[in-house]
Chains A and B, each alone.
Chain A
């Protein structure tokens, strides 16, 4: 399993971070794979430069053939993009490839990478 995330704002805007099970990234439990996101270095996706991000801010889960975003009771919240007001993520919600989400002040998205296709995971 492999996934690329692109940072969509801030000083690292445009940076792509790739995680894969082959590289021992994330946590794999059966067919449930999850990545941790936060300010601390020991996260799979480390947002070192965002002081508004919590140390362990959120998790991305691959489960039941799709991606899920979980907010880990972060101080400043996790949001998904919306036309009017960005919506705060409470608990775990489904998230689509290309859909923007925000931890602290950092916007991210899961890349629709060529390497990425759900078929590869089945």
Chain B
């Protein structure tokens, strides 16, 4: 006869020791239940759109890690844990069981009954209705059986066989459309540049009726669950009345590393609503007008048009886009061999420049960003300030033993020591190497644009820019606005999806990011991807930067740049100071530089974006009066080094 309580208590003790708490509280008991294989608690939490791992991290963030020093012997129960265990005991006796036969359900109901513990506070903070959870738990059999579901999946002829979905994707889709008879996957929306999969799906309900199409997004669990939280926080209350919404909780599964979200389209009540299509399908001719007349005014009312002045250092809004500033190999601290450098807030460029391969360094006061449990890698970052600043100065720490010590997202790291293995420059140069440069990526100047000579190499110049101050504006932003996330519905209604990066941030980031993707998708295909063609396209962009006409006998060239001109005209309305384009060029430089690291973007696209970043640097340096980077008093920083 197994004793479920014993397994829970073993898990609870392990958790308490990993977190250096050395007592058993309700939070440890709860995590003990979440950690059970095929447990009731874990299953109920999944039905609420969370996962056990996600909830465990949220509980850890609330309690924080203790210190190594033990202040009492043994692992005593907290008073609240004693209360919960005695309620569970009563419940077991009510069921006619002995004291040592407390089931997981008894304990879970007892935690719900007590109602004031850390895990319940965390659940409420995550928008879980604990009354519903309690009712669900009470309705289950003491021995929980996982639910069965089978939903038939069909593929429309336009769904390409190359876009094949893996078993995890299909599993999540079946769970997401649980209760439906079947679903038809219409197409894969050529999405962004991340791992996310976006699918346009028509569900058919159990009565055989087709429902309105929805977009399903499938991505890593953490990211999906964060997106759902972000949506509640930043997006839900600020959407136009007709658009894509997240109406349902995320779909998760214990055994799956991915999770799913379903965007429902709220379309005009009149008429049959066709499937929303990607904005790309409007084509370069129409898209510019549509961006200005539909997208900007519709979402702008609550987003970009509600802006406030905002003075920031470039790194605080844009550093997070770049690869890790350092990659280090974790080490125990050796008193005989103290670290050569200590990195702590504020991070100085000079300090980073002194750090060399093989140096042992200490990092203090950072925060855990992401934990890759299977790879033994933890990403830590600055952890302070705005949404974007928190993720700045990311450092990748390898070789962590994650079974001995718990690390959780949001954990403050007082001090961590490691040996330097790689820096950001190397990662950026490696990315540049992947687009087969026909020039030296370490040189200070890029070749081939006679009108913009000398053209600074963004791969060597970006660090100076990160410390510049910018006078810009702040509003709610999408944070990842590119052509893949913009859809067009009936009556050309604009739909935005993918709110994983929605936040309050630099207004122009959205437009620079959209321009970046329009350059790769509208300009490169017309000009071509070899370096010669890319430089020709860059000369077109140079003309736009200067407000000149594009000197080309090919009318397609001018047409390809129309979306860019439209985006510039919207960006122009969002400038903090009219006609001072510096803040836009900063955003464009950083968004383009980031794109070079995306191997999911075409080689031609990455080549043009390297030149886009270079031209942005050129504008900032060569025309300070038009960019607004002219005086110390205006920008508050030192002028850019040339």
Contacts and interface: CB of A to CB of B under 8 A. Distances in A.
B439 interface: no
B345 to A, nearest CB: 16
A8 B23 contact: no
B72 A11 contact: yes
B505 interface: no
B67 A13 contact: no
B125 A13 contact: no
A12 B79 CA distance: 6
Given A8-B116, A8-B118, A105-B63, A13 B69 contact: no
B241 interface: no
Contact of B79 (A14, A52, A84, A100): A14
Contacts of B69: 51
Contacts of B81: 13-14
B117 A13 contact: yes
Interface in B50-99: 62-64, 66-67, 69, 71-72, 76, 78-83
A12 B83 CA distance: 12
Contacts of B27: 9
B25 interface: yes
Contacts of B79: 12-15
A46 B145 CA distance: 47
B26 interface: yes
B407 to A, nearest CB: 17
Contacts of A83: 125, 233
A65 interface: no
A9 B81 CA distance: 11
Contacts of A14: 78-83, 116
Nearest to B22: A11
B118 A11 contact: no
Nearest to A16: B79
B233 A10 contact: no
B279 to A, nearest CB: 31
A37 B321 CA distance: 43
Interface residues of B, number: 27
Interface string B100-124: 0000000000000000111001000
Interface in A1-43: 6, 8-15
Contacts of B233: 83-84
A99 interface: no
A10 B20 CA distance: 11
Contacts of A92: none
Nearest to B125: A83
A9 B118 contact: yes
Given A51-B69, A83-B125, A11 B63 contact: no
A8 B80 CA distance: 9
A84 B226 CA distance: 12
A13 B120 CA distance: 13
Nearest to A14: B80
A11 B78 CA distance: 5
Contacts of A73: none
A11 B64 CA distance: 13
B117 A11 contact: no
Nearest to B16: A11
A49 B71 contact: yes
Contacts of A8: 116, 118, 121
Contacts of B118: 8-9, 13, 107
B71 A9 contact: no
A9 B117 CA distance: 8
Residue among A6, A10, A12, A83 with most chain B CB within 10 A: A10
Nearest to A105: B64
A13 B118 CA distance: 9
A9 B116 contact: no
A13 B30 CA distance: 14
A13 B66 contact: no
Contact of B25 (A13, A49, A100): A13
A105 B71 CA distance: 15
A105 B23 CA distance: 14
Contacts of B76: 11
A10 B125 contact: no
Contacts of B26: 13
A118 to B, nearest CB: 23
A84 B387 CA distance: 11
Interface hub of A8, A14, A51, A83 (most chain B Cβ within 10 A): A14
Given A9-B25, A52-B64, A100-B121, 15 more contacts: A6-B116, A8-B121, A9-B27, A10-B21, A10-B63, A11-B21, A11-B25, A12-B78, A12-B79, A13-B79, A14-B82, A51-B66, A84-B233, A105-B63, A105-B66
29 contacts: A8-B118, A9-B27, A9-B118, A10-B21, A10-B23, A10-B25, A10-B78, A11-B22, A11-B25, A13-B26, A13-B80, A13-B81, A14-B78, A14-B79, A14-B80, A14-B81, A48-B71, A49-B71, A49-B72, A51-B66, A51-B67, A51-B69, A52-B64, A83-B125, A100-B121, A105-B63, A105-B64, A105-B66, A107-B118
- The 7 A-B pairs with the shortest beta carbon distances in the complex, nearest first, are A14-B80, A14-B79, A11-B23, A13-B78, A13-B80, A105-B64, A15-B79
